[in-house]
Amino acid sequence: MIQLTNVSKIYPNGARALVDVNLKIGKGNFVFLVGPSGAGKSTLIKLLYREETPTRGQVQINSKNLVRMKDREVPYLRRNIGVIFQDFKLLPNKTVFENVGFALEVIGVAKREVRNRTLATLELVGLKAKETAYPHELSGGEQQRVCVARAVINNPALLVADEPTGNLDPDTAWDIMELLYDINKRGTTIVMATHARAIVNKMQKRVIAIENGRVARDEEKGGYGYDA
């Protein structure tokens, strides 16, 4: 489903974020990206939803070439990719319902359908009771659930997450991981960059370690692998 071929990314300031990366991620996989800060995990994530394009090499998702893709095609790619961030990126002046429905509203879905699908998705993430609350009235875990709901409401084939549990306490982090586990079980491919050792070790999923912009390790059912 995802294929990176000889991908290098050098930022305009000369920083070499990725060097000659080759990767294949199959449909329905759950993949952890681990490695030290600044190793290139976030850059890799950004390549997947085409926030960045590689300096060299090819990125393909579902046999679509993201490098050759025209800018005006990008929105249609993103409708099939959900993105979750460490800092949630919720709109403070919109309610939970509005924040989640926003993802459908701005791609022109009819009002009634927005309503139905938003309620269904809020049910999925366990936030139906909070639909009229504003982000600042929610706990961190709840805010991240809203973010997950917004990312999956369009039934994306791929969900990418950049340290989604980075701002959460361990118990809450586990709640989010259970949610992602469920979403993965429904067939969504998940690529998640993380520093959460306990989670990676316990989940026993594929682990790709990035160091200095290169793939240092790639194991099925791997562990976090770095000492504390």
Among 15, 107, 120, 198, binds another protein (CB under 8 A): 107
* Residue 91 near another protein by CB under 8 A: yes
Residues within window 153-192 making contact with another protein, judged by CB under 8 A: 154
Q: Which of 72, 136, 171, 220 binds another protein (CB under 8 A)?
A: 72
136 binds another protein (CB under 8 A): no
Question: 163: closest CA among 89, 78, 59, 53?
Answer: 89
Say if residue 169 is exposed, middle or buried (CB neighbours under 10 Å; 0-12, 13-18, 19+): exposed
Q: Which is nearer to another protein, 72 or 221 (CB)?
A: 72
> In 3D, which of 60, 54, 69 has the Cα closest to residue 20?
54
Please report how close the Cβ of residue 73 comes to another protein at its closest, in angstroms. 7
Q: Which of 1, 7, 6 is nearest to 47 (CA)?
A: 7
Number of residues that bind another protein (CB under 8 A): 26
145 binds another protein (CB under 8 A): no
68: contact with another protein by CB under 8 A: no
Q: Counting contacts by CB under 8 A, is residue 120 touching another protein?
A: no
Q: Looking at beta carbons only, is 26 or 75 nearer to another protein? A: 75
**H and E: helices and strands count for the chain:** 7, 10
Q: Taking the mean position of all CA atoms in its chain, how far away is CA 54?
A: 18
Helix axes 140-152, 111-124, angle to 10 degrees: 130
From the CB of 98, what's the least distance to another protein, in Å? 11
Q: How far is CA 36 from CA 11, 32, 209, in A?
A: 19, 13, 9
Task: Out of 103, 122, 173, 176, name the contact with another protein by CB under 8 A.
Answer: 103
Site residues for another protein per CB under 8 A: 49-50, 71-80, 83, 89, 91, 102-103, 105-111, 150, 154
